[in-house]
Structure 1
Amino acid sequence: MTVDTQELVEAVKRGEMTDAGGMTTTQDVADVVSDAYETVAEKLRALERDGVIESKLFGNERVWVVPEDTDTPDVASDETPIPTDTRAPPDV
């Protein structure tokens, strides 16, 4: 990663840790780095295209997150994950 990329990723991570909801907006990143809002937005979109960060729309605001390391899964391979769907399966 370039220094510029690392600075943006670190700014996103800092926002995740300091915001109560763990949401980092483009403005949050622009406040930390020395680039203009439009430049930061463009760079964040490029990092998203490269798979370095992810974004989601929250209301009408785009929030940025650094994906968790996929090399260390949350659940051990011999454990069954807890299902997230509480509805009973349809009768077949």
Structure 2
Amino acid sequence: MDVTLVALLPASPAWALLLVGVLLVLAARAPVSNEIVERCHDLSRPSARAAGKADARRSMRWVLIHMIEETARHAGHADILRAQADGSVGR
């Protein structure tokens, strides 16, 4: 395992196990997502099916930006939970 990842592992075994599980799911699904994006030659093209509360067909550009927003939001939530669990704070 990369030394930088070892430094980031939580002190609690339960949190470490959760983190490893999340990383394994991400590693398994990332290639599928990457393939979908690579096959899309027009980011403004509507999605194959409607989704969400608005039941709207979104463009690939919208989907990618939404994924970035959601990733940032969840990373912030995870940082808050980590700080509550181990008492450390970021800069």
- Between the two structures, name the one with larger relative contact order (CA 8 Å, sep ≥ 6): 1
